[in-house]
Chains A and B, each alone.
Chain A
Amino acid sequence: MRPKRIILYIVLVVFAVFYLMPIYVLLVTGLKSFQQVSLREMWNLPKSITFQSFVRAWKGDPSRGLRGLSQNFMNSVYLVIPATLISAMLGSMNGYVLTKWKFRGANTVFAILLFGMFIPYQSILIPLVQLLQKVKLYGSILGLIFVHCVYGIPITTLIFRNYYSTIPSDIVEASKIDGANFLKIYTKIILPVSMPAFAVVMIWQFTSIWNDFLFGLIVAPNPSVQPITVALNNLAGSYFVEWNIQMAGALITALPTLLVYIFLGRFFMRGLLAGSLAGT
């Protein structure tokens, strides 16, 4: 190999080390026992491996007032599955209408929907809390599901619209002439070829809803309905919780989205690029 190539690989490996460093810290700290955990030994491998920290982060320790993450993990599961499915469905319906049944002003409507994806949610939180309190959805998982469905509309619509505009409109026009109606074209022609877009959208929504913090913090203040990110922040924010448990908790929180990324990474990447190239 030429020296230039060797330098190239060295640089690539150095950056890989930088990106992996926090994961290394999470893993080795989570696998250490309390006696071994200290800032001085942060970079050392564990002398003996124990899963005690993971067990305690998961189950908690009632005798010391430590809440485990297991309930919040399940809250996140109950939240993320319906919210992902519903918002994907909404996106697909919108994308279909916006590409194959364009009405006058369809592009403007799309731009108006799309803007919702960029707003700082602080600008809607006060009325959101007021409204959810009025309709008794405040402080419940159902309320959080609803919120994620609503604010997921822009991105899911964007991804489906981009995808459906690659399906030739001739196919749709021909079916119209053959007498197929709106719903039939959707269920017989559009939906059967929509799986790649559903994969991208569902992985995107799964990741962003699982990772959401702000809505969980504001809409579900009660510990028993909190999603896992909020519970992790509380766990890590209390000074009496040991670092090994915090790191184990962080790893538990990150695991579902990391697994999705590792196994379905290319769909995740497409979602990212769709989000970055809004409208182009």
Chain B
Amino acid sequence: MKKDRLISILFILPSIILIAIFVYFFIGWTSWVSLVNWKDIFPDFTFVGLRNYARLFQNYRFTISLKNTIVFTALFLVASITLGLLLAILLDRKVRFEGFFRTIYLFPMAVSFVVTGVVWRWILNPGPGGESVGINLLFEKIGLSFLKSGWYTDPKIGIKAVVIAAVWQMSGYVMAMYLAGIRGIPSELYEAAQLDGASTMQVYRHIVLPLLRPITLGAIIILGHISLKIFDLVFAMTGSGIGFSCDVPALFMYDTTFRGNYFSQGAAVAMILLLSVAALIVPYLIYSMRAEVRR
């Protein structure tokens, strides 16, 4: 029995050690790097305090990338959650070929962000000159010319064009979460409400939607943390864009660190990214763990 206890610890120990080093020690190391003066290929560990952080907030590109992340996250969350909920409710109306539609709505999740970026860069390409090409041409053909735009090449739009590709990729995921949630609601609840004479709309408003609140919270956390650290999609689709109109902190961190060799500056960006994600995830993890213990 004692021996089994020991072996059980040995079973899980490699993983604990790996995560301790590669997650927690590394985060500690990065935070140390963010406090020193390492700004070329030769490490310089002279302590400079919070100077790298102070400089970041005076950095033109960084402040734009922060603003872009906020815009991106807000639009991406609202659009994906609305679309995902809508699709889930529609699919729950006893649709024939439900599996077929569900498969189509969810398949972008199986595709790499890089593929998504490459395809959408082409679709949203406004082309050279004033001629309508790509999606603009499609809009013209179906009589929606007012929707034509310069997309990611227009600095006023910039990151918002990337939102379209991100919603295309992730909204099916939200649909799947909601659909699983709706299917988990006991059917007696519906039947009781219908017996009481509630209309379909009322059933959704007063029974389904309130019960789906934990799913919405989960979707906000999952999409939110993906959105804060978004990198691949922007990298492949637009890069930092004209006047940094498509830039995000993760991209800024990559350029600063691995192209510019400003390691300390890059580490400071990484720490800010980490803190913003942790502010979202840690309360959720604690909440989930407590909920589990209660059960």
Contact = CB atoms under 8 A, between A and B. Distances in A.
Contacts of B26: 123-124, 127-128
A250 interface: yes
Residue among A113, A176, A212, A276 with max Cβ neighbours from chain B (10 Å): A276
Contacts of B258: 125, 218
A207 B11 CA distance: 26
Nearest to A98: B12
A94 B250 contact: no
Nearest to B282: A115
A257 B110 contact: yes
A20 B104 contact: yes
Interface stretch (B51-59, B130-138, B189-197, B205-213): B130-138
A214 interface: yes
A123 B30 contact: yes
Nearest to B263: A126
Given A253-B115, A261-B110, A276 B267 contact: no
A8 B93 contact: yes
A153 B30 contact: no
Given A94-B15, A126-B263, A181 B105 contact: no
B72 interface: no
Contacts of B267: 126
Contacts of B82: none
Interface residues of B, number: 100
Interface string B16-29: 10110011111101
Given A257-B110, A276-B177, A122 B95 contact: no
A83 to B, nearest CB: 14
Interface string A28-55: 0100000000111011000000000000
A265 to B, nearest CB: 6
Nearest to A29: B122
A191 interface: no
B269 A101 contact: no
A236 interface: yes
Interface string B102-136: 01111111111111111111110101000101100
A275 B111 CA distance: 17
A238 interface: no
Interface in B6-55: 7-9, 11-12, 14-16, 18-19, 22-27, 29-30, 33
B225 interface: yes
Nearest to A95: B12
Interface string A257-280: 110111001001100110111111
B201 interface: no
B119 A22 contact: yes
Interface in A110-125: 111-116, 118-125
The secondary structure that dominates the A interface is: helix
A103 B110 contact: no
Contact of B137 (A21, A40, A236, A249): A40
Contact of A120 (B137, B274, B291): B274
B22 A253 contact: no
Interface in A121-168: 121-128, 150-151, 153-154, 157
Contacts of A119: 23, 27, 274, 277-278
A115 B278 CA distance: 9
A39 B125 contact: yes
24 contacts: A19-B104, A19-B168, A25-B119, A39-B133, A42-B122, A42-B123, A109-B12, A112-B19, A115-B281, A119-B27, A123-B270, A123-B273, A151-B22, A181-B3, A181-B7, A182-B4, A182-B8, A182-B11, A183-B7, A210-B112, A261-B109, A262-B103, A265-B103, A276-B218
Interface of B: 1, 3-5, 7-9, 11-12, 14-16, 18-19, 22-27, 29-30, 33, 87, 90-91, 93, 95, 101, 103-123, 125, 127, 131, 133-134, 137-138, 141, 168, 172-173, 176-177, 180, 214, 218-219, 222, 225, 228-229, 231-232, 235-236, 250, 253-254, 257-258, 263, 266-267, 269-271, 273-274, 277-278, 281-282, 284-286, 288-289, 291-293
Given A207-B110, A254-B110, 11 more contacts: A42-B134, A119-B27, A122-B274, A123-B273, A153-B18, A154-B19, A213-B113, A230-B114, A249-B118, A272-B176, A280-B288
Closest A-B pairs by Cβ, 4 of them: A279-B288, A39-B133, A211-B112, A261-B110
